[in-house]
Chains A and B, each alone.
Chain A
Amino acid sequence: MSVMQGGYKRKSKPSSDIPDSSLADMAFLLLIFFMVSTTFPKEKPRKLDFPDAEATQKLDAPRKDIMHIYLERDGTVYINDQPIPMDRVSDVVAPQYVATDHKLVVVLRADREVTYSYVDAIQKELQQAGAVRMTFYTNLEERVRRARR
């Protein structure tokens, strides 16, 4: 029985078009979000194996006041993608410390297996440059990360 008796046959024809009038709006919304939140890194991130720590904190400093020092497993120091001899680190940090109005925070991104003598040498160089605020870059330990979720 395809025809109903005593009434109008209702014709429900769904539109075959996908409504795409708001597509551009959505794309622009996402676009603006990513444009605003994107920061292009000044230096190439080095692939190092960082240590884990439960007490890892988020660093609360403006990006312009942060300086990264990479310390590789063999003790090589990289600042702004340039290898720097250990005894020259203070010469690179000192002008930056002055430029940031003494607000510089040095983030030491050292490989977890590097021997401590190199880390100590970096600390001495920073003290020499007067940049005493530093952070040891660590990853939040996996079990803490899971527990926080």
Chain B
Amino acid sequence: MAIMKKRNRPSGAIPTSSMADIAFLLLIFFLVTTVFDEEKGLPIVLPEQSNEVEVSQRNILHIVIRDDGIVELKRGESPSVSTVTANMIGDIWRQEVAQNPNLIAAVKTYPTAPYRYMIDVLDQLQGAKAERISLQIFEGN
């Protein structure tokens, strides 16, 4: 037989020259698509719907947020109303709660007030470690 025998020797090495290219391609894809979504905010637990509790007026600090951002404060049954700014609430709360540890902050916001005014007050209260906060809508006296 005069046919020449073809020598076909497969290479023993795995071609790895393009490995880095593939890795970088995938890397860039993940770099671009990754978003480190951080959940943050001011946590609060709402009252259960059928869980209305009668609270003595003595233990309530009424905080009324007007639509112009001015905050009205009324202590329990006292008829006197003082107007303050939101950034004073934290200090006021610390003073009040030192006198009455059972105090509840009843935050009532005007329906037309921007949401950020309520957040400013809630921020101050949570910064002052207030735990008993009630969020309501202002429905008139």
Contact = CB atoms under 8 A, between A and B. Distances in A.
A40 B27 contact: no
A58 B114 contact: no
B111 A120 contact: yes
Contact of B122 (A30, A120, A136): A136
Contact of B46 (A30, A40, A127, A137): A127
Secondary structure of the B contact surface, majority rule:
mixed
Interface stretch (B3-11, B36-44, B98-106): B36-44
A119 interface: yes
Interface size class of B (residues with CB under 8 A): 35 or more
Interface in B116-141: 116-120, 122-124, 126-127, 135-137
B93 interface: no
B13 interface: no
A135 B26 contact: no
B1 interface: no
Contacts of B111: 115-117, 120
A24 to B, nearest CB: 4
A126 interface: yes
In this complex, the member of B23, B35, B48, B111 whose beta carbon has the largest number of chain A beta carbons within 10 angstroms is B23
Secondary structure of the A contact surface, majority rule:
mixed
A41 B42 contact: no
Interface residues of A, number: 52
Interface in A119-149: 119-120, 123, 126-128, 130, 132-140
A113 B40 contact: no
Contact of A119 (B33, B37, B40, B115): B115
B49 A112 contact: no
A31 interface: yes
Contacts of A59: 39-41, 43
B20 A132 contact: no
B48 A127 contact: yes
Interface of B: 16, 19-20, 23-24, 26-27, 30-31, 33-49, 65, 109-120, 122-124, 126-127, 135-137
